[in-house]
A = this chain, B = another copy of it.
Amino acid sequence: MSNLFSMRDLSTKEIHEILHTAESFAKGEIWTPAKQTFAVNLFFEPSTRTKTSFEMAERKLGMEVIPFETGTSSILKGETLEDTLKTLESMGVDLAVIRHKQDAYYESLAGKFQMKIVNGGDGCGQHPTQSLLDLLTIKQEFGKFEGLKVTIVGDLSHSRVARSNTEALTALGSEVFYSGPPEWFEGDPENAQNYVDIDEAIGFSDVLMLLRIQHERHNTMMDLTVEQYHERYGLTPEREKRMKPESIIMHPGPVNRGVEIAGSLVESCKSRIFKQMENGVYARMAVIKHILEK
């Protein structure tokens, strides 16, 4: 693997290798490239959380991180993404992490660069390092993926996480279900067949993977108030009590307290939400190490 654009780029063997490396970073292992290595994080769509996580990962690996202000870049003067990357490569940048609102923007880049590229999220498409940190969190908890029941709760159509995770979890032997307002699954026969009501899901799920309700992207509330949405589809304290004893709650953040999850549950016993953020750094370190060693 010389780039990471999509979870589809990874065989299950490679996923296991990356998770293994990430676990050793979580245990405190230190690895740095043999020579001074330069990274740039090109976030054409803002995401402080993901950008900070990549920056932490790069710094922990001893890399030099070159700031790049997408808001004032030559792209505004009509330069193509490819020419911007060629420029950075010419200057000596070894790794570019890119977030872009255009779906599959990376397809036009494949095979054109010596520089390594990691997709930090594209449109409503892939977000492979988020998937890997989610997988790492599950593996740390259960030691395996085979036979686990994972329910993703929220609007799949606007979630990069849901897409990447479903493919990877299925390949690794887990069973994936979906929950949320049934309207979101109409006209989506493939996912609709694994649709379950939230009250059913909490009874059998090993992992409850909540998605953020994306107020920013569209009106998803369907005439429900926030309170009504929470009561009907959210993880309330009452529902949490009915979850299986060894089950866990996940959420990619940032959390809407009192919408998809009750505020009191964010740091509860079953929650792995902040563990996921910690794991994000280890997963990204592992991806970068694998790519640089290639």
Q: Which residues of A contact B (CB under 8 A)?
A: 36, 38, 40, 46-49, 52-53, 55-56, 59-60, 64, 66-69, 72-74, 77-80, 83, 86-93, 215-216, 253-257, 266-267, 274-275, 277-278, 280-281
Assuming the contacts A38-B59, A59-B66, A254-B74, asked whether A52 and B88 have C-beta atoms less than 8 A apart, the reply is: yes
- Asked if residues A254 and B77 are in contact (CB atoms below 8 Å), the reply is yes
A278's contact among B38, B90, B275, by CB below 8 Å, is which?
B90
A36-B60, A74-B254 are known contacts. Are A277 and B91 too (CB-CB below 8 A)?
A: yes
Most buried by B among A48, A89, A257: A48
Compute how far the CA of A169 lies from the CA of B207 in the bound complex, rounded to whole angstroms: 57
Residue numbers in B under 8 Å from A88 (CB-CB): 52
Chain B positions within 8 Å of A91 at CB level: 52-53, 56, 277-278, 280-281
**Given A79-B254, A91-B277, 15 additional A-B pairs, CB 8 A:** A48-B69, A48-B72, A48-B73, A52-B87, A56-B66, A56-B91, A60-B92, A77-B215, A77-B216, A77-B254, A87-B274, A90-B274, A90-B275, A91-B280, A92-B281
Some 12 contacts from A to B, beta carbons below 8 A apart, are A38-B56, A49-B74, A52-B66, A52-B88, A53-B91, A55-B67, A56-B91, A59-B64, A78-B254, A79-B254, A87-B277, A91-B280
Is A254 a contact partner of B83 (Cβ separation < 8 A)? yes
Residues of B contacting A90 in the complex (Cβ-Cβ under 8 angstroms): 274-275, 277-278
In the bound complex, how far is the Cα of B253 from the Cα of A90, in angstroms?
12
